[in-house]
Amino acid sequence: MSEKPRQPWYRQGWPWFLIAFPALAVVGGIATLVIAMQSFDGMVVDDYYKEGRAIVQTIGRVEHARELGLRAQLRVRSESVHIELSASDVASLPERIRLTVAHPTRGGLDQELVLAGSAGVYEAALAPLGTGRWLFVIEDEARSWRMDGSAFLPAEMEITIDPNV
């Protein structure tokens, strides 16, 4: 009887097959950890009651904008924003407004501007906005009224915000 010489363990297939599954799990865990460390999703709100009350107040401010007959036309350019604000009583238009431009998922890209203008026309410099959906919130400085709208940039560069719709 001739006996074949035994091969060392590392030249056989079964040990490598059995080692592959735990090794893949370790590599997948490290990849998941790297992704989690690089993309911060933000904090979950702790005080739900307070947030709920803020939503009710926001609805009241939108109603006040509707009562004033406010309407806004925004034109977003690469590095500026132009807003034409109209109201049923032109004398009620403020000299300064607050514009918040927010990305729904990336808070670090949000911008808050105070725009001065006259006769309902406001313009200001704006940091370039990336491709995607953006939220636009217009308020007076006293924050007594509020209008909000959204647009998918760069396809929608002109946005109409009308709380009556």
Q: What is the pLDDT of residues 79-102, one digit of tens each?
A: 899 999 999 988 889 999 999 999
Q: What is the pTM of this model?
A: 0.67
Provide the percentage of residues in the chain whose pLDDT is more than 90. Answer: 56
Check pLDDT > 70 for residue 44.
Answer: no
Per the structure block, which two tokens stand in for 21? 């599954």
Write down the H helix ranges in the chain: 13-38, 48-68
The class that CATH gives domain 70-161 is mainly beta
Per the structure block, which two tokens stand in for 153? 């940039």
Domain extents in the chain = 12-37, 70-161
Check pLDDT > 70 for residue 34.
Answer: yes
Indicate left, alpha or beta for 42 from its phi (over 0: left) and psi (-120 to 50: alpha): left
What strands, in cross-sheet order, belong to the sheet with 111-118? 146-153, 132-140, 96-102, 111-118, 121-125, 80-86, 71-76, 158-161
3-state secondary structure at position 46: coil
DSSP 114: E
pLDDT digits (tens, 9 = 90+) for 125-147: 999 998 999 999 999 999 899 99
Check pLDDT > 90 for residue 6.
Answer: no
